[in-house]
Amino acid sequence: MGNAESSVFQKRMARVPPAEQAEIQSSFENLWQSKNATKKSLGLAAFQDSIGSSLPSAMSKRIFCGMQSENPTGKTSPTAQEITREQYALFIVDILRGTADEKGAITVHMMTSDSREEVTGQQVQEFLEDLIWAVVYVLQRHNGLSGWSLENTRDCKSGTYMLASQLLSQLHSAGGQTLKEAEHLSSSYTQVSITDWLYRAPMVSMFLRIVVTLGLSIMKESTEHQLDLGCLVPKCKKGKQASFCSLLDFPSVMFLNSHLPSEMQQRWRLLFSTQIHGESFSQLCGHLVDQGPSLLVLRDSDGFIFGGFASQSWEVKPKFQGDSRCFLFSVSPHLDIYIYTGYNDHYMYLNHGQQTMPNGLGMGGQHEYFGLWIDSNFGKGHSKAKPRCTTYNSPQLSANEEFTIDAMEVWALGEMPEHLQAKNKKSVLDADPETQALLEMTGKTRQSEGLRDKEEDEES
């Protein structure tokens, strides 16, 4: 190894401690020794054959192209058909610990497989779809779905496309301007644009780290990898409802979870589902109230899926509650979140049995004009935004302003509140006598009796 190569290579490798350097070198040795006993380099076919089914073929090819773009000597030279140990090592270090410029250069090569300095929106979209599917693939192979099942969630293919489109929408053109949705696929993007995008859309870099770490089985015990998994994949606890099928797909679960406060990202616990508990507003209240932060997901009769994040426990009372961490979101036909604007404090509203105030559950906007509203006459709701919800700047979330609920589910987020653990996991109505009394005064029976799900210590 020459002095120039040694200087460039060693400087970059110094970002990882000696033990991790040895792990990276051993990883490459294991690859080439199994397929190439005469020289320490690998072509694409040998590389893909060596890693086997650890990665989808499309993503392993993109990773190989990224490795080819690495230049251990710092000198300009034509891209070789094979990768060396130094290229392999630098690629891993740059993806896991590299600067934004280094990641940007590698990512462009993974998108184009050549030395062009610009990429099209279509190439970015295809790269993102391959990357997102690779994340799901490696998590499934390494038992990293944390209780989620691809069979018990919505179609992952459509979710992959929508998450890719959402991430692409955050990319600015070569000229730096923000584009309309229809313009993204046909526009061109420079390496500078891609680098800036990686900074503003950290989920892309996180996906790359997870795919490289799990796909190449390298540095899986690192702190960074554990943090990535912790904020990306919540542990799913849905009781003994084996037949339950979520309205969410796994890509949308990852997307929504990444936007939650960190203390709420570790665990989702199913509170309510119309599949299980029926279509009843009193049932919804009985399972929702006093359970801590939650995520509400609805599907209307036209197939639109949307909902809201409630940052605090719901309470039945004739006034607004919550705080500025709340947001609304859309899952289908578009994936996006809509956050607090500062215009007003109408974050959350839950009322029942009042004659002078609206009865139902709402988020954002104002009485009679909520960004999301579920009427106490369960099954009906509205999403009124002319043109945007004042609280969250969200558009109309449902297909029609007035909608019919086809299905709904509610997830508690984070650890179960201490007061519920202390009460031997009793019903929320037992834990909150005021709410119980309020519901009974309105003539609503305690339909949750006999239907309470026993909490399980193990993950389902």
SS (HEC) of the chain: CCHHHHHHHHHHHCCCCHHHHHHHHHHHHHHHHHHCCCCCEECHHHHHHHHHHHCCHHHHHHHHHHHHCCCCCCCCCCCCCCEEHHHHHHHHHHHHHCCHHHHHHHHHHHHHCCCCCEEEHHHHHHHHHHHHHHHHHHHHHCCCCCCCCHHHCCCHHHHHHHHHHHHHCCCCCCCCCCCCHHHCCCCEEEHHHHHHHHHHCHHHHHHHHHHHHHHCCCCCCCHHHHHHHHHHCCEEECCCCCCCCCCCCHHHHHHHHHCCCHHHCCEEEEEEEHHHHCCCHHHHHHHHECCCCEEEEEEECCCCEEEEEECCCECCEEEEECCCCCEEEEEECCCEEEECCCCCCCCEEEECCCCCCCCEEEEEEECCEEEEEEECCCCEEECCCCCCCCCCCCCCCCCCCEEEEEEEEEEEECCCCHHHHHCCCCCHHHHCHHHHHHHHHCCCCCCCCCCCCCCCCCCC
What confidence score (pLDDT) does residue 451 get?
43
> The CATH number of 8-230 is which of 1.10.238.10, 1.10.3720.10, 1.20.1250.20, 3.90.1520.10?
1.10.238.10
Burial 41-52 (b: 16+ CB within 10 A, else e): bbebebbbebbe
Q: What is the pLDDT along the chain (460 residues), one digit of tens a residue?
A: 445 456 778 888 898 999 999 999 999 988 877 655 556 789 999 999 999 999 999 999 999 999 999 988 877 665 678 999 999 999 999 999 999 899 999 999 999 876 677 899 999 999 999 999 999 999 999 999 988 988 888 889 999 999 999 999 999 876 666 666 677 888 889 999 999 999 999 999 999 999 999 999 999 888 888 889 888 999 998 876 667 899 999 999 999 999 999 999 999 999 999 999 999 999 999 999 999 999 999 999 999 999 999 999 999 999 999 999 999 999 999 999 999 999 999 999 999 887 788 999 999 999 999 999 999 999 999 999 888 999 999 999 999 999 999 999 999 999 888 877 776 455 544 545 555 655 554 555 554 444 444 444 444 3
Structure tokens at 366: 């104002």
Residue spans of the domains in the chain: they are: 8-230, 264-441
Question: Could you count the other beta carbons within 10 Å of the beta carbon of residue 140?
Answer: 15
Mode of pairing for the β-strands spanning 336-339 and 348-351? unpaired
Q: What is the pTM of this model?
A: 0.87
pLDDT at 418: 82
